[in-house]
C-alpha cells in the first residue's frame, strides 16, 4: 500500500485532486470537470465537490495541468531593459487583466543582445507558456518569424518597427495624438513649432511626424525642416536638440518633443539659456510617464493609455488562444492631451 515517495514529503503540501475526490466521494474525473466547468456534472455533485474544494482551499497544480492539458496558464512577457518606468505600467495592466483570468505572467528578460535568436524561443515556448506578450525595445523580424513558424501565439504591444501583417499588435494612436498636441499649440497662437523626434526609422516617430504635419497643414502653416530635429528618445538628446534649436536665427516659440524625456531635456536646455517655460517657450511631451509630473513646470503631454494597452494585449492574446481562426488584429488606442503648466499663449502678433 505504502508507495515509495521519491522525494522528501515536505510539510505544507497541498491537497491534490485525488484527496478532494475521496472526500467528496466522487472520482477525480468528476472533480476535474467541476474545476474546469467542462462536461456534464449534476448540480448536486457539483455543489458537493465545490464545497470540499473550498474547505480544503484546493487549486489545481499548474505543473500537472500544464503537462496533461498542454496549457500552463502562464503568459510570457518580454522585459526590455530600457524604458523601465514606461514598461512597468504596461506590465501592470497585463498583470491585472491576466489575474482575472487566473493566469500569470512569466517574465522573459531580453538581456544580452545576441542570445535572442535562440533565447527568446527557448524562454517562451516549450511547455513554459501558452502564449506571449512582446514588448520589445526594437523588433528584429527574424526572431518574430521564427516564433511564428513554430506556431507560437503572441501579440506585440507597442510595436517599434513595422512588422509582419499577421502579427496582432496593440499601439497608441500616435498620429492622432501628435495631431492633438500640435493643434493645441497652434490654438495657443504658436506658429513656429519645432519637433524633436525619435529615430527616423521607428514607427512612433513616423506616425507622430505624420500627425504633426497634418495639424500644421490644416492650420495653413508651412513646415520648416530646420526645426524638426531627429534625436534618440533620451533626456540628453533632448538637451542637445533644444540647444541646437536656439542657435537658430529664427528660433521656435514652441517645442513638441516626441516623448517625455526629450521634452524634459529640451526644457532643461531652454531654462539653461535663461528663457522661461512657458512664458517664452511652450513645451509638449508625449507618453505621460511619471516624469512629466516631476518636472517644473509640470509638463503638458500626450497620454498613452499604457495600462490599457497591456490589458488590450491580453484580450487579443486570449482570442488567439481560444479560437485559432483569427484575423490579425491591429488595435490602436486613443491618446489624450494632458494640459499642465509647460504650455502657454504664443507670441502676440
Q: Which does 226 bind (CB under 5 to 8 A by kind): DNA, its own copies, none?
A: none
- Residue 345 as a binder of its own copies (CB under 8 A): the answer is no
Q: Which does 32 bind (CB under 5 to 8 A by kind): DNA, its own copies, none?
A: DNA
Q: Which does 245 bind (CB under 5 to 8 A by kind): DNA, its own copies, none?
A: none
Which lies closer to DNA via its Cβ, residue 36 or residue 51?
A: 36
**Minimum CB distance to its own copies, residue 208 (Å):** 21
Single out the residue of 269, 228, 257, 251 nearest to residue 347, CA to CA. Answer: 251
Q: Tell me the residue ranges of DSSP E strands in 192-237.
A: 193-197, 228-230
Distance (Å, whole) CA 329 – CA 233: 28
Q: Tell me the residue ranges of DSSP E strands in the chain.
A: 74-79, 104-109, 131-134, 154-157, 169-172, 193-197, 228-230, 254-257, 282-287, 300-303, 330-333, 336-338
**Minimum CB distance to DNA, residue 39 (Å):** 5
**Minimum CB distance to its own copies, residue 67 (Å):** 4
Among 128, 161, 206, 329, contact with its own copies (rule: CB under 8 A)? 128
Sign of CA dihedral 291, 294, 300, 303: positive
Q: Cα Rg for the chain, rounded, in angstroms?
A: 26
Distance (Å, whole) CA 108 – CA 112: 12
Which lies closer to DNA via its Cβ, residue 127 or residue 347?
A: 127
Which lies closer to its own copies via its Cβ, residue 64 or residue 334?
A: 64
- Residue 235 as a binder of its own copies (CB under 8 A): the answer is yes
**Minimum CB distance to its own copies, residue 293 (Å):** 6
Which lies closer to DNA via its Cβ, residue 6 or residue 112?
A: 6
DSSP state of 290: G
- Residue 29 as a binder of its own copies (CB under 8 A): the answer is no
- Residue 84 as a binder of its own copies (CB under 8 A): the answer is yes
Which lies closer to DNA via its Cβ, residue 48 or residue 92?
A: 48
**Residue 332: which residues within 8 A CB-CB, separation 6 or more?**
171, 172, 173
Single out the residue of 267, 259, 269, 271 nearest to residue 232, CA to CA. Answer: 259
Q: Which does 196 bind (CB under 5 to 8 A by kind): its own copies, DNA, none?
A: none
Distance (Å, whole) CA 290 – CA 88: 11
- Residue 315 as a binder of its own copies (CB under 8 A): the answer is no
Distance (Å, whole) CA 81 – CA 84: 7
Q: How many CB atoms lie within 10 A of CB 346?
A: 19
Site for its own copies in 144-173 (CB under 8 A): 149-152
Which lies closer to its own copies via its Cβ, residue 216 or residue 283?
A: 283
Site for its own copies in 242-261 (CB under 8 A): 261
**Residue 274: which residues within 8 A CB-CB, separation 6 or more?**
none
Helices 141-149 and 116-124 cross at an angle (nearest 10°) of 40
Among 63, 140, 142, 218, contact with its own copies (rule: CB under 8 A)? 63
Residues β-bridged to residue 194: 255
Measured in residues, the chain has a length of 349
- Residue 99 as a binder of its own copies (CB under 8 A): the answer is yes
**Minimum CB distance to DNA, residue 86 (Å):** 36
Degrees, nearest 5: CA angle 317-149-154 = 15
Single out the residue of 155, 191, 294 nearest to residue 235, CA to CA. Answer: 294
**Among the residue ranges 41-49, 59-67, 168-176, 193-201, the one whose residues contact its own copies (CB under 8 A):** 59-67
- Residues at the interface with its own copies (CB under 8 A): 7, 10-12, 14, 57, 59, 61-67, 69-70, 72, 74, 77, 79, 81, 84-85, 87-89, 91-92, 95-96, 99, 104-109, 111, 118, 121-123, 125-128, 149-152, 235, 261, 264, 267-268, 271, 290-291, 293-296
Amino acid at each position: 500500500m505504502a508507495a515509495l515517495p521519491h522525494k522528501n514529503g515536505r510539510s505544507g503540501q497541498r491537497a491534490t485532486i485525488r484527496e478532494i475526490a475521496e472526500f467528496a466521494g466522487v472520482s477525480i474525473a468528476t472533480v476535474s470537470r467541476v474545476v474546469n466547468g467542462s462536461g456534464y456534472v449534476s448540480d448536486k455533485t457539483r455543489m458537493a465537490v465545490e464545497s470540499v474544494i473550498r474547505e480544503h482551499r484546493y487549486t489545481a497544480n499548474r505543473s500537472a495541468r500544464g503537462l496533461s492539458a498542454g496549457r500552463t496558464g502562464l503568459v510570457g512577457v518580454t522585459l526590455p531593459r530600457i524604458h523601465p518606468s514606461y514598461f512597468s505600467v504596461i506590465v501592470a495592466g497585463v498583470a491585472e487583466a491576466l489575474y482575472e483570468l487566473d493566469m500569470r505572467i512569466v517574465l522573459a528578460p531580453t538581456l544580452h543582445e545576441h542570445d535572442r535568436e535562440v533565447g527568446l524561443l527557448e524562454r517562451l515556448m516549450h511547455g513554459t507558456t501558452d502564449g506571449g506578450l512582446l514588448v520589445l525595445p526594437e523588433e528584429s523580424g527574424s526572431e518574430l518569424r521564427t516564433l511564428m513558424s513554430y506556431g507560437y501565439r503572441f501579440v506585440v504591444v507597442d510595436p517599434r518597427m513595422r512588422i509582419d501583417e499577421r502579427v496582432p499588435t496593440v499601439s497608441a494612436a500616435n498620429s492622432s495624438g501628435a495631431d492633438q498636441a500640435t493643434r493645441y499649440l497652434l490654438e495657443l497662437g504658436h506658429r513656429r513649432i519645432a519637433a524633436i523626434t525619435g529615430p527616423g526609422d521607428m514607427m512612433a516617430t513616423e506616425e507622430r511626424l505624420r500627425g504633426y504635419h497634418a495639424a500644421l497643414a490644416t492650420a495653413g502653416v508651412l513646415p520648416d525642416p530646420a526645426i524638426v530635429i531627429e534625436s534618440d528618445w533620451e533626456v540628453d538628446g533632448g538637451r542637445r536638440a533644444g540647444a541646437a534649436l536656439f542657435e537658430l536665427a529664427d528660433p521656435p516659440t514652441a517645442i513638441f518633443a516626441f516623448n517625455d524625456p526629450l521634452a524634459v531635456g529640451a526644457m532643461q536646455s531652454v531654462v539653461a539659456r535663461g528663457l522661461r517655460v512657458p512664458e517664452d517657450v511652450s513645451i509638449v511631451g508625449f507618453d505621460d510617464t511619471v516624469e512629466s509630473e516631476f518636472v517644473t513646470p509640470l509638463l503638458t503631454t500626450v497620454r498613452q493609455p499604457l495600462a490599457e494597452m497591456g490589458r488590450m494585449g491580453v484580450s487579443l492574446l486570449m482570442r488567439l488562444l481560444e479560437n485559432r481562426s483569427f484575423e490579425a488584429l491591429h488595435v490602436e488606442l486613443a491618446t489624450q492631451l494632458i494640459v499642465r503648466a509647460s504650455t502657454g499663449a504664443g507670441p502676440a502678433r
